[in-house]
Amino acid sequence: MASIEIANARKSYGAVDVLHGINLNISDGEFIVLVGPSGCGKSTLLRMIAGLEDITSGDISIAGDVINDLQPKDRDIAMVFQSYALYPHMSVAENMSYALKLRKTAKDKIADAIGNVADILGLSALLERRPKALSGGQRQRVAMGRAIVRKPQAFLFDEPLSNLDARLREQMRTEIRKLHHRLGATSVYVTHDQIEAMTMADRIVAMHDGIIQQVGSPVEIYDRPANIFVASFIGSPAMNFLEGAYETTADNGDQGAGIRLSDGSLVPVLPAQGASTNQPVTLGARPEHITIVQDAANGLPARVDLIEPMGLSTLVHATLAGKPIKIFTMDRPDYAVDSFIHVAFDMEKVHVFDSSSELRLPPLTEPHTGHSD
Amino acid sequence: MTLTGHTTTRKMLYWGSHYLMIAAFVLFALFPLYWLLKVSVTPNDILYTEGVRMWPSRTTWENYTFVLTQSNFPHYFMNSVIVAGTTAAVTTVIAALTGYAFSRFAFRGKVIIVALMLITQMFPLVMLIAPIFKILAPLGLTDSLTGLIIVYTAFNVPFATFLMQSFFDGIPKDLEEAAMIDGNTRFEAFRAIILPLTLPGVAATLGFVFTAAWSELLFALMLVSSESASTFPVGLLSFVSKFSVDFGQMMAAGVLALIPACLFFLLIQRYLVQGLTAGAVKG
Amino acid sequence: MTLATHAGKRPVERRGVFSKKLSGIIEPYLYVSPALVLILAVMLMPLVLGLSYAFRDIRILNPFSGGFVGTAHFETLMSDQAFLGALINTAWWTFGSLFFQFGLGLILALLLNRDFVGRRLIQALVFLPWAVPTFLSGLNWAWMFNPVVGPLPHWLTSLGLMAEPFNILSDPDLAMWGPIIANIWFGIPFFAITMLAALQSIPKELYEAASIDGATTRQQFISITLPFLAPTIAITLMLRTIWIANFADLIVVMTKGGPADSTQIVASYIFTQAFRRLDFGYASAIAAVLLVLLLAYALAVIGLRRAMTHADN
């Protein structure tokens, strides 16, 4: 196993810059998830680590060695592809043993390694089959097995679960996590699915337009998103955003703050670092941080648009200050469409973003940890 | 009820004429070949008296035995097998490499090379007859099978390349990337993973090129002058102009020339539609 | 592969002369070079050489030839009746063959595009002529037209189309039909295969949608099939025109351009000049003219198509 360091790595195709100076240190044994919408450069970065794409400038090192000029085969990494990329003309066993054979590993050692991995992944009965005769989930396992057998310095995953149906995906998520605990291998996992990122990562790297937006643990990213992009990308149902102007208030001598929405109503927030009165800001509130209140005096009026029962909970779609918002509730509300409810924001949990830079303005009370990059 | 009856009649009429037309096409396609076969097994003495009979009253293999034992045809046949076989093999190797590069790499000058290859598909090869003769003569490559192989290979590489490319395009890039991560160089991955998956394409390309080289006449006529280097078309044509009365023997030789072409046709038949749509358009 | 895990960053020692980047740049050319060398040496170089021959006196049997003659060959060409005749014959040969190859090929493709019992076998049978070596097609049809062994003259006589069985290949007025018919026989499969491939790529849902909308079979053909086939038809017709115009094999085998040059096309005339008279200079001059004509044709067709598509928009 090994650490991976990416120093100021750039990638451009002709005049088009795909990655703008990526800096990232992945420690030994860490499970890193690169997440972002398609076209954000996450797959390109992964393929640069694998050696499948040239590095335009900058350095990528594995275990302290700069590997820019090494062929993929000399980098001692394994990769699981979205399409699985199983060799169709080889059996499961041959697929898994191909890399070992190329390294001239002794036959009995290969057999041992394959038997072992097949046991772990429940593939023992399928070893003689061709990929064509396997289900999607089984193919996915073989692709995993092919990577594990090699005991590489690092595992690279390129959206390995996106061809599976929802139930299987959930199951494999857990399995990959368990495998990682067991093998402790450095892993870089690319996905566009924020749930995968949240559930699997030691650290999430959120990317957008070829730039790393934020690096942090799932909880950190969820609770303290660095900017509007990360806030909107992570979390489902997505965060609500309401534009307004920042105001400071004095209430009973305590310094307070609020955001004046377009309809004139004021949402109280914690005083934010670097925010000044009348500064255009965006209020960010996750659906679970808005509550429906019975007492009209304590809430803002919102019109109900749709009730979406989700089993465990219910999602209420409503319009507030002319903007659609979603409210998460564990109750079983039965509001009529177009009726009015009153909602209150959890002052401790909502976020204030600067509308022009889109950066989060953390509350004065939050220790200034400073998100990396 | 009358309505259904009406549609059934129309349907029967339609399929009746459908099959009739199909039958006409099949007849038109096969009759000349049938006639070739018929004359080749007709004994000489009844050839003219039974000229328009659909099948002779007696049949004989003597035309074939003559062609196979008394004539130079076995020699021509061998020459053609060597030329067409080598051309097919060499062309397919070169076309596989080039087709793979076209399918997988983006590189400077690619557009120009592709355009160059497309243009060669359109220009009159007969134009090149004189200059190629002049170039090959001092190299000792006229009147030699090697010369023919080189010329045929060059002529067939462009089409074969586009054909192979279309097969490579159908194979996901991920496969050789996986192999490269598993420990292959790109070329090893191409040989060990991609090529085995393109075997149908390789077979189709071999077949196309073999048939083309087997059939080529004009350059063979120009470049070959001796009996010893004659290919089948050249031999048959000189036979025709020398012994133009021995129809039975000529047609027996013709049937023999048909055999390898038909065998390859059966081999590639399945890929015809795919190959011609995918590759460039050449007969 | 052993990557020692020392601390600190250092580049792994480079293998050989090439870095990964450089070998990555060179690699595609390694794959392409055999084909490229071959095409340059055997096609492009002779082409350039051939064009230079057009201005030189090159006769293989005359050791004193080789001198520069300027445009003398082209001046001779202008008054060469055989060449002018060959130009007309080329047009006749090309469009006569093309019309029937295309028409019958399209009909065959439409017939084969329906599912019926034995379709695969029938398809293999009707495509067979395409696999027959061209020299053999030529010889075979020459034999078919020969009243001594062929049935065709006798049938035509029975039908009353011929007074008595004779070989049309020896009649200057009719001889061109011989190679044209052989060419039709040989060329139908090509069009059928191409059209069939194009037909099979038309999404079935389109026809389903059209029939739900109440379109008749004829309307479906006009509003769906033809528009979908049009691009394939346009490109194949253009390429095929050029290909047939250059296709001398059948004529060389069946008539050698005769009788009395009545079947001589430009391509077979080039071959005759080079092969029989060994006059490479003159042959190359004809070839140069042919190349220019074909180029003009291709440009005209492309220009016409562009003008038409512009008019559409």
Burial label for A13, CB within 10 Å (0-12, 13-18, 19+), is: exposed
pLDDT in tens, C163-204: 878 888 888 888 899 999 999 999 998 888 888 888 888 888
- Min mean pLDDT across A55-69, A127-141, C47-61 is at C47-61
| Average of per-residue pLDDT across A72-95 | 92
Which residue is it, tokens 């009253």?
A: B57
Say yes or no: A61 contacts chain C, CB-CB below 8 A: yes
> Which candidate in A71, A130, A140 is best for mutational testing of the B interface (most B CBs within 10 A)?
A71
Q: Say which DSSP state B228 is in.
A: G
**Residue C2: per-residue pLDDT:** 40
- The pLDDT of C72-100, averaged and rounded, is 90
In this structure, are residues C51 and C280 in contact, taking their beta carbons and an 8 Å threshold? no
DSSP E strand boundaries for B8-54: none
C38 CB within 8 Å of a chain B CB: yes
Do the chains contact at A65 and C19, CB–CB below 8 Å? no
Say if C237 is an interface residue toward chain B (CB within 8 Å): no
Greater model confidence, B198 or C16: B198
Contact B151 C42 (CB under 8 A): yes
Q: Hey, of A48, A67, A70, which one would you mutate to test binding to chain C, going by the most C CBs within 10 A of its CB?
A: A70
When CB atoms are compared, the residue of C43, C133, C151 closest to B233 is: C133
Q: Using an 8 Å CB-CB cutoff, list chain C residues near B133.
A: 60, 274, 280
Q: What chain A residue is nearest to B180 in terms of C-alpha separation?
A: A73
Residue contact B172–A72, C-beta within 8 A = no
**Cα–Cα dist B226/B242, whole Å:** 15
Question: By CA distance, what is C125's nearest residue in B?
Answer: B26
> Is there a contact between C220 and C211 (Cβ–Cβ < 8 Å)?
yes
Task: Give pLDDT, residue A86.
Answer: 93
Tokens of B78: 């061998």
Angstrom CA distances, B258 to A357, B68, B250, C135, stand at 77, 15, 12, 11
Identify which of A54, A64, A74 has the shortest CB distance to residue C21. A54
β partners of residue A260: A245, A266
Neighboring chain B residues of A16 at a CB cutoff of 8 Å = none
B105 contacts chain C (CB < 8 A): yes
Question: For residue A49, which residues of chain C lie inside 8 Å, CB to CB?
Answer: none
| B133 CB within 8 Å of a chain C CB | yes
* Nearest C-alpha neighbor of A72 from the set A104, A100, A48: A48
Chain C residues closer than 8 Å to B35 by CB? 140, 143-144, 150-151
Q: Do B178 and A87 touch (CB under 8 A)?
A: yes
CA distance B17 to chain C (A): 10
Q: What is the β-pairing status of strands A31-35 and A203-208?
A: parallel
Give me the pLDDT at residue C6, please.
Answer: 42
Interface of B with C in 154-193 (CB under 8 A): 154-155, 157-158, 161, 186
Domains annotated on chain C, with CATH:
74-312 (1.10.3720.10)
Q: Number of A to C CB contacts under 8 A, please give it.
A: 47
Tally helices (H) and strands (E) across chain C.
14, 1
What pLDDT sits at residue C231? 81
* CA-based nearest distance C48→chain B, Å: 9
Tell me the pLDDT tens digit for each residue of C134-150. 888 898 898 889 888 88
Backbone Cα Rg of chain B: 24
Position A209 scores a pLDDT of 93
Residue A69 has its nearest CB partner, among C5, C10, C14, at C14
Closest residue in chain B to residue A146, using alpha carbons only: B182
Token readout for A253 is 């001598």
Whole-Å CA distances, B100 to B164, C35, C41, C209: 7, 12, 22, 40
Closest CA to C179 of C149, C215, C139, C151: C139
Count of C-beta atoms within a 10 Å radius of residue B5: 9
The one-letter amino acid code at B8 reads T
Letter for the amino acid at B195? L
pLDDT in tens, A252-267: 666 788 999 988 888 9
Range with lowest mean pLDDT among B67-81, C50-64, C226-240, C284-298: C50-64
DSSP, residue by residue, A277-336: TT-EEEEEE-GGGEEEES-GGGSEEEEEEEEEE-SSSEEEEEEETTEEEEEEESS---PP
Kindly tell me the burial class for residue A150, based on how many C-beta atoms sit within 10 Å of its own C-beta (0-12, 13-18, 19 or more): buried
Band the pLDDT of C5: cuts 50, 70, 90.
Answer: very low
A52 vs C: CB within 8 A: no
Chain A CA closest to residue B194: A87
Using the beta-carbon criterion (under 8 Å), do C19 and A64 form an inter-chain contact? no
Of C33, C39, C242, nearest to B151 (Cα)?
A: C39
Check pLDDT > 90 for residue B8. Answer: no
Classify residue A203 by its DSSP letter.
E
Nearest-CA residue of chain B relative to A90? B193
Give every CB contact of residue C23 below 8 A, 6+ residues apart in sequence: none
Convert the pLDDT of each residue in B192-205 to its tens digit: 999 998 888 888 88
Query: Measured between CA atoms, how close is B26 to chain C, in angstroms?
Result: 5
* Range in A146-155, A162-171, B264-273, C77-86 the model is least confident about: B264-273
Q: Do A102 and B183 touch (CB under 8 A)?
A: yes
Q: What is the mean pLDDT of residues C213-228?
A: 86
Nearest to B187 by CA among A48, C31, A104: C31
- End-to-end Cα distance, chain B: 51
- Tell me how far the alpha carbon of residue B65 is from its chain's centroid: 26
Beta bridge partners of A256: A249
Domain ranges for chain B: 2-60, 68-278
Asked if B254 reaches chain C (Cβ–Cβ under 8 Å), the answer is yes
CB-nearest partner of C275 from B32, B221, B282: B221
C50 touches chain B (CB under 8 A): yes
From B178, B184, B197, residue closest to A79, measured CB to CB: B178
**Portion of chain C with pLDDT greater than 90, in percent:** 18
Task: Give the closest residue to C77 by CA, choosing from C292, C300, C299, C295.
Answer: C292
C130 interaction partners in chain B (CB closer than 8 Å): 265, 283
Which has the minimum average pLDDT: A117-121, A328-332, B260-264, C94-98? B260-264
CA-nearest residue to B196 within chain A is A89
Nearest CB to A98: which of B177, B182, B185?
B182
Residue B21 has which token pair? 């037309």
Q: What percentage of chain C has pLDDT greater than the value 70? A: 91
DSSP C41: I
The predicted pLDDT at position A281 comes to: 95
Phi and psi for A35 in degrees, rounded to 5? -130, 150
pLDDT at B278: 44
Q: Are strands A280-285 and A240-251 parallel, antiparallel or unpaired?
A: antiparallel
Kindly list the structural domains of chain A, giving each domain's residue range(s) and its CATH number in brackets, ordered by start.
4-233 (3.40.50.300), 240-354 (2.40.50.140)
**pLDDT over 70, % of chain A:** 97
Q: What 8-state DSSP symbol labels residue C68? A: B
Structure tokens at A212: 């790393």
Q: What is the pLDDT of residue A218?
A: 95
Structure tokens at C243: 């290909």
Tokens of A360: 């989060």
Q: Which residues of A touch B (CB under 8 A)?
A: 50-52, 71-73, 75, 77-79, 81-89, 98-99, 102-103, 146, 150
CA distance B56 to C137: 23
Cross-chain Cβ contact B178/A81 below 8 Å: yes
- Partners of A86 on chain B (C-beta within 8 Å) are 178
Structure tokens at C95: 């469009």
Q: What gap in Å lies between CA A306 and CA A125, rounded to an integer?
A: 50
CB within 8 Å: A54 and C7: no
Alpha-carbon gap: A70 to the closest alpha carbon of chain C (Å): 6
pTM assigned to the model: 0.84
- Could you tell me if residue B56 is left (phi over 0), alpha (psi between -120 and 50 degrees) or otherwise beta? beta
User: What does DSSP assign to residue C261?
Assistant: T
Chain A positions touching B185 (Cβ under 8 A) are: 71, 73
Of how many residues is chain C composed? 313
- What letters, b where the CB count within 10 A reaches 16 and e where it falls short, cover B216-228? bbbbbbbbbeeee
Neighbouring-strand partners of residue A34: A190, A205
| Region B68-278: CATH code | 1.10.3720.10
Residue A368 has pLDDT above 80, yes or no: no
**Given CB atoms, is A59 within the 8 Å cutoff of chain C?**
yes
